[in-house]
């Protein structure tokens, strides 16, 4: 948290007047997202051309005041008629008054006033005017910096300092139009909270349900991709702002693949490829996660460039230290997992399929576990129901596999450490990739992976990651894997390495598994709470953010999605 003596950025006051939740996320939790609008604004400031009648005296002047507790960089300072004037440039449109007069938006106004006050202290003379240039309208709003304006500035500073001392996020803004232009909407999830509020209202006033159209503020698809490095002797380096992967083919011919860092959200190194310090530094600066998996598919380690997100984690620790909270979340999680397993088995054996009768006892066992989950008095009871349902589920899988597949591809129950058959080798490898996805997603959201609510802490498996994996095992990996097995996409000879005590994937098998996993992440599914169709890769992040909502003022949205 910022302290009483920490200077405020002038831009933080702009965020404060725009939305207090935005101010808190950016300044206290240090979550900042640069979207297209932010980049466009930066380009505008780089390309500003002086107007004919306003010759600039100084540009991008850095200012600070201990008295005000402010610091910032004003766009331009000009002297007209012997008086200094602070100028701000905005790419958007101005606010219009009753008679269409040009006005500055409240957030722009307080920012300009703050720069005028900083200039007055720095130059030792009054600065009574500030201006905001709106380039979309090609107009300038004039702001008079009088006693009233300075009083508004001090009020804003006092409110910002008050928010610095709280551990609770402010509520979402009541002005929904602000959210559609906010770069932090995918983090804040304001519409998801509004949906929750609307549902509560609909319970009391059913005739008002479904009247409001919900804007889609959470991106449906990821904008970047994961770079998988599978060649053991490959070298991952850096060239400028790009990642370069160098490898040799079977004829010792060197090949290079260059990928712009802007196109990468993470790098996963399978096996023993090397990565340079320069590449690691670039990834840290760009927020690109690097993860290492062993040759056999076990998650080994990963990096994070997270600034710490101290307030987020304090809230997480406090919430998950509550036993009743942990049990409530665990019930929702396990119920979602088991219900999806049941629905998948029912979907695969419905209609004229005669395999339903062969697994009827297993299906009834899973249904019984579902009934028991809601009545479970403790997490230990949940573990029992989950384990029983899992055994019944895996025992049922041969019934939904095609009779045309080789017998070597039919699983014999679930074997993990190590996998004893080819199907389990594929399951484990996919689960490892899912583990890596959830781990880096949790860190990107700002949650602490080692502090969960269901699984017990273990030295090498962060509990929160193990918790969240349960939501996605069936939909993200088991369903596409079983489909690929039924389509005879795996070669029992070339895609697997068989040893006395273990079966694992060969080079060709790993490449196929990675391709199948990434293809699945790009598939879309409608989230039942938001009604929004989104890629599975985005669904993981959304569920993590909905989990955090459980202890930040909007509970009841986590683990609601189901297999249709």
| pTM as predicted | 0.79
What separation in angstroms does the CA of 374 have from each of 139, 191, 369? 62, 29, 9
How many residues belong to the chain?
Answer: 564
What separation in angstroms does the CA of 330 have from each of 83, 123, 152? 65, 60, 47
Mean pLDDT in order along the chain per 10 residues (564 residues): 67 93 89 59 50 54 90 88 89 88 94 94 91 92 94 95 88 87 84 66 49 57 87 91 87 85 92 93 90 86 72 90 95 96 91 75 95 91 94 93 92 84 93 94 90 82 93 96 96 91 90 96 84 87 92 87 79
Contact residues for 350 (Cβ-Cβ < 8 A; gap 6+):
356
Distance CA 401, CA 411 (A): 10
3-state secondary structure of 83: strand
Distance CA 553, CA 543 (A): 16
The encoded tokens of residue 79 equal: 């002297």
The residues facing 64 across adjacent strands are 71
Closest CA to 232 of 269, 275, 274, 272: 272
3-state secondary structure of 9: strand
What separation in angstroms does the CA of 99 have from each of 103, 105, 439? 11, 16, 55
The encoded tokens of residue 144 equal: 């008079």
**340 neighbors 474 (Cβ within 8 angstroms):** yes
Distance CA 295, CA 275 (A): 16
User: How does 135-148 read in b/e, with b if 16+ C-beta sit within 10 Å?
Assistant: eeeeebbebebeee
**447 neighbors 464 (Cβ within 8 angstroms):** yes
Distance CA 390, CA 373 (A): 13
Phi, psi of 135 (to 5 degrees): -75, -25
Q: Quick one: pLDDT at residue 3?
A: 45
The residues facing 228 across adjacent strands are 268
The encoded tokens of residue 336 equal: 């979602």
Distance CA 45, CA 116 (A): 19
Q: How many CA atoms, within 13 angstroms, populate the side-chain half-sphere of residue 210?
A: 3
Q: What domains can be seen in the chain, in order of their start residue?
A: 8-169 (3.90.320.10), 225-302 (3.100.10.20), 310-549 (1.20.120.920)
Phi/psi-derived region of residue 81, left when phi > 0, alpha when psi is between -120 and 50, beta in every other case = left
Distance CA 75, CA 272 (A): 49
**383 neighbors 373 (Cβ within 8 angstroms):** no
Q: Quick one: pLDDT at residue 2?
A: 42
**496 neighbors 506 (Cβ within 8 angstroms):** yes
Q: What is the SS3 string spanning 438-479?
A: HHHHHHHHCCCCCCCCCCCCECCECHHHHHHHHHHHHHHHHH
Distance CA 32, CA 346 (A): 44
Q: Quick one: pLDDT at residue 372?
A: 94
What separation in angstroms does the CA of 80 have from each of 51, 129, 161? 13, 10, 34
The encoded tokens of residue 293 equal: 């998996």
Concatenated DSSP letters of 250-314: TT--EEEEEEEGGGEEEEEEESS-EE-HHHHHHHHHHT-EEEEE-TTS-EEEE-------HHHHH
Where is 388: in which H helix or E strand?
helix 379-396
Distance CA 432, CA 469 (A): 10
Q: Quick one: pLDDT at residue 210?
A: 46
Closest CA to 119 of 62, 45, 54: 62
């Amino acid at each position: 948290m910022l302290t009483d003596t920490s200077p405020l950025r002038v831009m933080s006051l702009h965020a404060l007047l725009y939305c207090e939740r935005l101010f808190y996320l950016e300044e206290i939790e240090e979550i900042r997202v640069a979207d297209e609008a932010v980049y466009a604004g930066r380009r505008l400031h780089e390309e500003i051309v002086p107007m004919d009648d306003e010759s600039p005296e100084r540009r991008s002047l850095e200012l600070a005041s201990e008295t005000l507790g402010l610091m910032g960089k004003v766009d331009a300072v000009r002297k007209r008629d012997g008086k200094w004037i602070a100028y701000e440039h905005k790419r958007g449109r101005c606010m219009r008054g009753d008679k269409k007069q040009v006005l500055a938006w409240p957030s722009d106004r307080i920012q300009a006033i703050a720069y005028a006050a900083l200039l007055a202290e720095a130059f030792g003379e009054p600065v009574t005017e500030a201006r905001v240039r709106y380039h979309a309208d090609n107009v300038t709003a004039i702001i008079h910096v009088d006693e009233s304006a300075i009083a508004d500035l001090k009020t804003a500073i006092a409110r910002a300092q008050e928010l610095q001392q709280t551990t609770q996020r402010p509520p979402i803004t009541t002005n929904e139009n602000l959210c559609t232009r906010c770069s932090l909407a995918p983090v804040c999830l304001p519409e998801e909270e509004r949906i929750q509020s609307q549902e509560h209202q609909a319970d009391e006033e059913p005739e008002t349900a479904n009247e409001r159209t919900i804007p889609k503020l959470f991106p449906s698809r990821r904008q970047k991709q994961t770079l998988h490095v599978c060649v053991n002797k490959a070298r991952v380096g850096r060239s400028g702002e790009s990642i370069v992967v160098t490898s040799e083919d079977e004829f010792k011919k060197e090949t290079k693949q260059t990928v712009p860092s802007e196109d990468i959200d993470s790098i996963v190194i399978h096996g023993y490829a090397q990565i340079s310090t320069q590449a690691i530094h670039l990834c840290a600066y760009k927020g690109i996660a690097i993860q290492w998996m062993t040759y056999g598919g076990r998650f080994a380690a990963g990096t994070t460039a997270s600034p710490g997100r101290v307030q987020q984690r304090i809230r997480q620790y406090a919430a998950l230290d509550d036993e009743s909270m942990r049990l409530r979340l665990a019930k929702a999680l396990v119920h979602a997992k088991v219900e999806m397993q049941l629905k998948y088995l029912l979907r695969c054996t419905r209609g004229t399929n005669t395999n339903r009768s062969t697994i009827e006892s297993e299906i009834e066992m899973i249904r019984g576990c579902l009934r028991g989950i809601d009545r479970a008095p403790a997490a230990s009871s949940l573990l029992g129901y989950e384990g029983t349902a899992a055994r019944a589920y895996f025992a049922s899988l041969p019934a939904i596999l095609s009779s045309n597949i080789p017998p070597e591809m039919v699983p014999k129950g679930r074997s993990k450490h190590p996998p004893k058959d080819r199907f389990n080798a594929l399951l484990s490898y996919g689960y490892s990739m899912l583990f890596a996805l959830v781990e880096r997603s949790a860190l990107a959201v700002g949650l602490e992976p080692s502090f969960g609510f269901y699984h017990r802490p273990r030295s090498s498996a962060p509990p929160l990651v193990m918790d969240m994996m349960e939501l996605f095992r069936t939909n993200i990996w088991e369903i596409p894997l079983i489909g690929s097995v039924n389509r005879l996409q795996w070669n029992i000879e070339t895609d697997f390495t068989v040893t006395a005590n273990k079966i694992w994937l060969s080079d060709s098998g790993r490449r196929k598994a990675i391709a199948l996993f990434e293809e699945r992440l790009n598939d879309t599914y409608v989230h039942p709470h938001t009604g929004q169709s989104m890629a599975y890769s985005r669904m993981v992040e959304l569920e993590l953010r909905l989990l955090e909502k459980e202890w930040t003022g909007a509970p009841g949205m986590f683990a609601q999605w189901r297999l249709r």
